[in-house]
């Protein structure tokens, strides 16, 4: 009989399909795990309404748990409260930076820095660590990211947008 702790360990192995360096736990979208006899219930929250990765994530959760012999898996979507980048783990933020994606700026999702368009937010370059950067486009390689360029090393990079 599996334990909730074991299920959480297995979920750590499920990657976000759009940013594969992050697990779904790093991303903070797993809201809960519940066991009812042979049944496993996993509750997830999308990073934004209509996120195309959610079906893939649900399938990957099922496949990972099925590989452990858990056949009665139920995935529940929880839309409220809405996901926020504040739910990302510190380890996840570091993984983003190590991968070359600037993590969300601290405080921007909770309202400590009110900036809807990113123009004044000091985004740190994940390569040279400079904060002399500028927004190139609000639209990056995925809907969750914006495109920036460093003014010091001149390298372009993605920035994981803040969501509150």
Structure tokens at 156: 């372009």
* pLDDT at position 1: 79
Buried b (16+ CB within 10 A) or exposed e, 69-90: ebeebebeeeeeeebbbebbee
CATH 3.30.360.10 fits 4-77, yes or no: no
In tens, the pLDDT along 61-116 reads: 999 999 999 999 999 999 999 999 999 999 999 999 999 999 998 654 444 344 44
* pLDDT at position 143: 82
Portion of the chain with pLDDT greater than 90, in percent: 77
* pLDDT at position 107: 56
Mean pLDDT of all residues in the chain?
A: 90
pLDDT band at 48 (very low <50, low <70, confident <90, very high): confident
**How many CA atoms lie less than 13 Å away from 111 in the CB half-sphere?**
0
Parse the chain into domains and list their residue ranges.
Answer: 4-77, 90-160
User: What's the whole-model pTM score?
Assistant: 0.85
* pLDDT at position 117: 52
Instruction: Return the DSSP state at 87.
Output: G
């Amino acid at each position: 009989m599996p334990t909730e702790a074991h299920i959480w360990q297995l979920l750590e192995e499920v990657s976000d399909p759009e940013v594969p360096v992050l697990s779904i736990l790093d991303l903070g979208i797993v809201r809960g795990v519940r066991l009812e006899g042979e049944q496993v219930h996993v509750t997830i929250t999308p990073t934004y309404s209509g996120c195309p990765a959610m079906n893939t994530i649900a399938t990957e959760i099922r496949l990972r748990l099925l590989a452990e012999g858990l056949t009665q898996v139920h995935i529940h979507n929880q839309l409220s409260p809405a996901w926020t980048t504040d739910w990302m783990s510190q380890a996840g933020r570091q993984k983003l930076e190590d991968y070359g994606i600037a993590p969300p700026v601290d405080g921007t999702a909770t309202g400590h820095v009110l900036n809807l368009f990113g123009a004044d937010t000091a985004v740190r370059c994940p390569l040279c660590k400079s904060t002399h950067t500028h927004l190139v486009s609000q639209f990056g390689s995925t809907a969750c990211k914006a495109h920036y360029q460093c003014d010091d090393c001149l390298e372009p990079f993605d920035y994981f947008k803040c969501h509150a």
